[in-house]
Amino acid sequence: MALVNPHGSKKKLMPLLLKGAERDDEIGRAKDMKRIDVSSRVSGDILMLGMGSFTPLTGFMCKADWEGVVEDMKLRKDDPGTFWPLPVTLDIDEETRKNVNEGDEVALYDKETGELMATMKIEEIYEPDKKKEAELCFKGKGPDSEKFWDVALDEHPGVQQVMNSGKYYVGGPIKALSEKDFIQKYGEHYMHPSVSRQIFEDRGWSTVAAFQTRNPIHRSHEFLTKIAQEVLDGVFIHALVGKLKPGDIPGEVRMKCYKALIDNYYNAERTVLGVYPLEMRYGGPKEALLHGVFRQNHGCSHLIIGRDHAGVGDFYGLFEAQEIYDTLWDGALELQPLKIDWTFWCHKCEGMASLKTCPHSKEDRVVVSGTKFRRLMSEGKVEEVPKEFSRPEVLEILKDYYANPEARKVKIKKGAFEDLK
């Protein structure tokens, strides 16, 4: 059997990153173009477009695609009718709008580093309904969504990202020119979809489960990935290393944790570790769908989805990210969700278990929570972290990280999903 096809009607990867002489020529041309400085979120999207992870997109969405995605989760212009769950947009402020026009070729520079990221042919400049985008993309079924606009502007990073962005969106195709410093930082683990697909094919895999992570892998995560390894050919631990929210653990620290865990507790022949440069939207169910889209591009047939996937605060129901996959129409995605119930360490079972398998009471269980762990460590309460949270090699790396006072400055809000209900 073959791997799943890349997403979209053409069923082939569409990387937008230029290389060699073509890249050099475009960098030269960019010097004479009008300049647009872009946010870290936009830079991350450029990198995903460049490597082909966002196939079949050819650039940033024009109004028809933005509207189709927000309202129906379907592209209307770029590969019409193709499923796409969250907008991929380039925003500009009113001052920048005065200097650019439809039809212009512009150079996109990372606002933080000043690095040239891409060139773009502006097809359309439009003013989006950002409140509509925030509600349709980020409002879930959790307790916080009952008072969505009372709390979202202060507590939902994705909503803040949209509402604080520039007044206008600019749509059009891009030519990506940079990979920033991700190759230097992460080496062979920074994988384009073409590379991960080749690795899976070389191993003879046709069924691969992607595991999305922005945290160190604790025992619950490890349990999920090993369930996948039991029923599929292999697992692709695919870690986000783009910009995170305050309090999240840096990518370089997490990579040490992943490698220590895989070296000591995983079957290396059935495990692949990769990273990708996207910035989290914290979009819960809609982001879980986006995770499915680009994991299909990377060659994965399944995406592991546990509780509160890509969630933040109490904005989403515990298993809303699983449920949304059931609402998709036939053919929306080839990739399928691998849905797994709430997992925990059970003292009486003497191991990891789930609500589907464990007959014991709440008092016998240690619920492994990344949020709770980060809060305890940032407060210096190392002794309160249960040994069942993660493997000792991982805990030692994290203890060293949190010994740095800088890592303990961010106050972590108590999560509502830390205890079994």
| 41 is a catalytic site residue | no
**The one catalytic residue among 41, 214, 281, 365:** 214
Smallest Cα–Cα separation from 120: which of 135, 112, 108? Answer: 108
| 101 is a catalytic site residue | no
**The one catalytic residue among 23, 97, 215, 408:** 215
Active-site amino acid positions: 214-215
